[in-house]
Amino acid sequence: MAFLPREDPLSEEALEAEFAVAPYGSARARRFFAELPNLKRLKVVQTLTAGVDWILPKLPAGVVLCDAAGVHDAPVAEWIVGAILAAYKRFPEFRDAQREGRWAYRWVEDLEGARLLFLGYGSIARATEARLAPFGVSFLRVARTAREGVHTLAELPELLPQADIVVNLLPLTPATERLLGHEHFARMKPGALFVNAGRGKTVDQEALVEAVRLGRIRFYTDVADPEPLPEGHPLWSLPEVFLTPHIAGSTPKLFERGFQLVREQVGRYVRGEPLLNVVQEGY
C-alpha cells in the first residue's frame, strides 16, 4: 500500500499501483489526477463520492471506475428530510424573526399526506423514502430505467403536477445536464417544494430563478451551479430559498463507511471477484 504525498514525487511502490482510491478533498484530487498518467499498471479507481461527473473526463482509457454508492445514503437522506421539515415548518423564516426579535406567528403545513416525487431513484432515494414513510408521505418515483413502481423520465411532465415535493437526485451526465427547465417548473404545483440534493447542473438556472422569483416554487438545495455560488447571485437573496454549501454527505462517518467499501473492493479485486458500484454510462 502507498499513499499520495502532498508535494513529493510518487514512490516507486505507488507508481506500480493497480488499484487507486481517489482523494475526497479537491486539492488532493487535483494532484491525484495529475499523477494518473504515471500509473502505468492502473486498473481500477475507486471514489469516495457518489457522483462521478468530476472524474470521468480525467480517467485514462481502460481503467474501471467504481463510485461510492451506499456510502452517503444515510447523511444525504437525513439532509433531505431535514430540508423538507424545515420548509414545511418554516424554520428559516422563524429563525430570521428570532434574530429580529419578532414574534412572527403564522400557520405552518402538515407533512402528513404530502406526495413526494423522486427524480432519480437509487439508494439515496430509497433511504430517504424509508425515513419519510412514517410521516405519512406517499411517493412517485422516476428514474432512467422503468421497473415495478418506477416511472421513466418521459412520464415526468404528467407526474409533476401530482407532487407537493420534488426531490432531485439525478447524477450529472450529458443526458441530464440542464434537464429541468421552464416546462418542468411550470408544471409543478403552485408553491411546490423543489429540493435539490443531486447536481446543480441538472437544472436550467435561468428557469429555476424565474420560477422562484415568480413564486411558483420554493427551493431548498445543497448544490448549485456554479459552486461556490458567486456573490450577488439571485439565489442568495430570493425569498423561499434555503441553501447549504454541498455539505449533505460531509459527516464524521464518511470515511468510516467509505473505507469499509474500499476494504471490500480491494478484497474483491485481489480475489478476482466482481467489483461493486462499477460505473456505466455515467451512473
Instruction: Answer for the pair 178, 127: CB distance below 8 angstroms, yes or no.
Output: no
pLDDT for residue 234 is more than 70: yes
- The pLDDT value recorded for residue 32 is 86
How far is residue 79 from each of residues 72, 142, 247, 280, measured CA to CA in Å? 11, 20, 9, 27
Which residue range(s) make up the domain with 84?
A: 73-243
Say what the pTM is. 0.93
Read off the amino acid at residue 143: A
**Which candidate in 31, 115, 187, 246 is catalytic?**
246
Taking each continuous run of H as one helix and of E as one strand, the counts in the chain are 9, 10
Asked whether residue 31 is domain-assigned, the answer is: yes
* Mean predicted lDDT score pLDDT of the chain: 94
**In terms of pLDDT, which residue wins out, 201 or 38?**
201
Span 119-126, mean pLDDT?
97
Looking at the fold, whether 89 and 147 belong to one and the same domain comes out as: yes
**Which candidate in 155, 206, 227, 256 is catalytic?**
227
- The pLDDT value recorded for residue 34 is 84
How would DSSP label each residue in 128-173? HHHHHGGGT-EEEEEESS-BTTBEEGGGHHHHGGG-SEEEE-PPP-
The grid cell for 201 is 447542473
Looking at the fold, whether 19 and 129 belong to one and the same domain comes out as: no
pLDDT for residue 30 is more than 90: no
What's the domain count of the chain?
2
**What residues contact 111, with CB distance under 8 A and at least 6 apart?**
84, 85, 88, 132, 135, 136, 137
Phi, psi of 56, deg, nearest 5:
-55, -45
pLDDT for residue 122 is more than 70: yes
Rounded-to-integer distance, Cα 154 and Cα 161, Å: 14
**Which candidate in 141, 144, 184, 199 is catalytic?**
199
Looking at the fold, whether 121 and 216 belong to one and the same domain comes out as: yes
pLDDT for residue 280 is more than 70: yes
Known catalytic residue: 12?
A: no
Phi, psi of 152, deg, nearest 5:
-95, 165
Asked whether residue 5 is domain-assigned, the answer is: no
Nearest to 169 by CA among 77, 269, 60: 77
- The pLDDT value recorded for residue 1 is 65
Looking at the fold, whether 90 and 41 belong to one and the same domain comes out as: no
Sheet strands (E) in 7-143: 19-21, 44-46, 64-66, 115-119, 138-143
Q: Which residue has the cell 423514502?
A: 129
Span 61-90, mean pLDDT?
97
Asked whether residue 281 is domain-assigned, the answer is: no
Residues forming beta bridges with residue 22, ordered by sequence position: none
pLDDT for residue 132 is more than 90: yes
Buried b (16+ CB within 10 A) or exposed e, 196-229: bbbbbbbbbbebbbebbeeebbbbbbbbbbeeeb
Known catalytic residue: 199?
A: yes
- The pLDDT value recorded for residue 10 is 82
pLDDT > 70: what percent of the chain?
97
pLDDT for residue 208 is more than 90: yes
The dihedral region occupied by 103, where left means phi > 0, alpha psi between -120 and 50, and beta the remainder, is beta
Angle at CA of residue 53, ends 49 and 55, nearest 5°: 75
| pLDDT 10s digits, 140-195 | 999 988 899 999 999 999 999 999 999 999 999 999 999 999 999 999 999 999 99
Rounded-to-integer distance, Cα 209 and Cα 241, Å: 10
Looking at the fold, whether 42 and 90 belong to one and the same domain comes out as: no
- The pLDDT value recorded for residue 26 is 67
How far is residue 270 from each of residues 1, 18, 60, 121, 267, measured CA to CA in Å? 13, 10, 21, 32, 5
Asked whether residue 3 is domain-assigned, the answer is: no
Asked whether residue 95 is domain-assigned, the answer is: yes
pLDDT for residue 70 is more than 70: yes
Nearest to 263 by CA among 108, 126, 112, 71: 71
Span 209-223, mean pLDDT?
98
Looking at the fold, whether 53 and 179 belong to one and the same domain comes out as: no
Task: Name which of 5-14, 60-69, 99-108, 272-281 the model is least confident about.
Answer: 5-14
Span 226-240, mean pLDDT?
96
Known catalytic residue: 246?
A: yes
